[in-house]
Amino acid sequence: MAKQIIEITMPQLAESLVSATVDRWLKQPGDSIDMYEPICDLITDKVNAELPSTVRGTLVKHLIGAGETVEVGSAICLVEIEATATETNESSVGGTDEVTQTSQPSSLSAKPSPATYGGEVDANAPMRHRYSPAVQKLAAENGIDLNRVPGTGEGGRITRKDVLAAAASGSASAANPLATTPSVQSSLAPMDPKIQVRSTGMHLSESPRIPSVEVEGQELPGRGEYYIDITPIRNTIATRMRQSVSEIPHGWMMIEVDVTNLVVLRNKLKEEFQKREGINLTYMPFLIKAAVNAIKDYPIMNSVWAVDKIIVKRDINISLSVGTEDSVVTPVIRHADQKNIAGIAHEIDDLARRTRERKLKLDDVQGGTFTVNNTGSFGSILTQPIINYPQAAILTFESIVKRPVVINDMIGVRSMVNLCLSLDHRILDGVICGRFLQRVKENLESYTLDTKLY
């Protein structure tokens, strides 16, 4: 039976995802692969995901090495499969092997000229390289090279209509020419992972290559230094942090809160809650509930900077910063405004446990609109957190400490905590953030022994 060589490409795992990093290969050249069997681990947006095979066959070649980042739609490996009789008949005359694609067409395919689309490309148009997710998805599905599509939108921006016109002109079929390639050797075009699906835009920044570390754990004589491998997830964190501090003008605020009543309430309920629910009752559900109620009063805190507009999110999805031994991940509590304190406690327990067990799914870390971080668990009393890009703010909950406080001209010992807020100064100013923190403070100080968890 004739053989076929199939390219497996990087799939569109999520709408906003434009690239992913191959963490490690689970299959090596020469290994047999079953349908849906994982072939490699991917790191996407701070979380690991397995890439299943879309065909059954034998792995021929890795096109991307471990640690390398590739754009969606790029080929990452070749797999040899048994060609069916129908496919064999449809093959070109005299060719026994051919290369086809299994999902999105490779951006390395032959590209039609600008004239194919019936218009001139103005490379200097100010909005030309700002692609919407819908345009990117449509271009990837049809194998369209956006660099060759003339934009008819404002400032030369490429619209869905432009991409559809390009696809209708025949460019879509031209982007998938591998089915007519006569042989394996001639079809193995060299990969160019620098080709981007999107090159500019609010949510984009080029992911740098994983640096090649030459020495691991080797001490340098006389200097006491040693090297540590940069893991893909550490590199992703570094990229996100750099993007946040370079694009977002950070501002900081702090407020002091008397949580004496909350401490008494939690001490009263924690044993009963443990017996009834099987999980610990921490202070975080109370803080998140207080923050969510404050966001309802000041919804601008739940927003995103979009260059020419500010997008205020209707859903309140709280990103929860969870640290592990070698990284930090922000799984999301979705629709936190629709949950009571007990429900939020269960969400926190589940997400924190699955984070440390490395069992989070891609959806678990996407869609966050506001981040809360419990830096107080490390004994911290003051923090200047970096905003979880592209959100507008992040709130930290510091250590609860007992100290003397002046109340009505008298000195009393109270349980006090600091709340620290980092804000995107393009969206938020001191007045709105001060009012927001005051509302969080009021909500936390309003907890009493009568507060219900359900």
- pLDDT tens digits along 391-438: 999 999 999 999 999 998 999 999 999 999 999 999 999 999 999 999
Q: State the Cα–Cα distance between residues 433 and 251, nearest whole angstrom.
A: 10
Catalytic residue among 23, 229, 425, 450: 425
Nearest residue to 44 via CA among 73, 74, 72 = 72
What pLDDT is stored for residue 104 in this prediction? 44
Nearest residue to 91 via CA among 2, 188, 189 = 2
Q: Does domain 3-82 have CATH number 3.40.50.720?
A: no
Active site residue 429: yes
Active site residue 425: yes
- pLDDT tens digits along 10-47: 877 766 677 788 878 888 888 888 887 888 888 776 56
- pLDDT tens digits along 200-216: 343 444 454 555 555 55
When the candidates are 3.40.50.970, 3.30.559.10, 3.40.1800.10, 3.40.50.12780, the CATH number that belongs to 249-446 is 3.30.559.10
Position 447 pLDDT exceeds 90? yes
Position 374 pLDDT exceeds 80? yes
Q: State the Cα–Cα distance between residues 410 and 191, nearest whole angstrom.
A: 73
pLDDT exceeding 90 applies to what percent of the chain? 41
Q: What is the pTM of this model?
A: 0.59
Q: What is the mean pLDDT of the chain?
A: 80
Q: State the Cα–Cα distance between residues 446 and 241, nearest whole angstrom.
A: 35
Contact (Cβ atoms closer than 8 angstroms) between residue 436 and residue 301: yes
Amino acid at 438: Q
Contact (Cβ atoms closer than 8 angstroms) between residue 282 and residue 259: no
Domains of the chain by residue range: 3-82, 249-446
Catalytic residue among 145, 192, 429, 450: 429
With cut-offs at 50, 70 and 90, classify the pLDDT of residue 168. Answer: confident
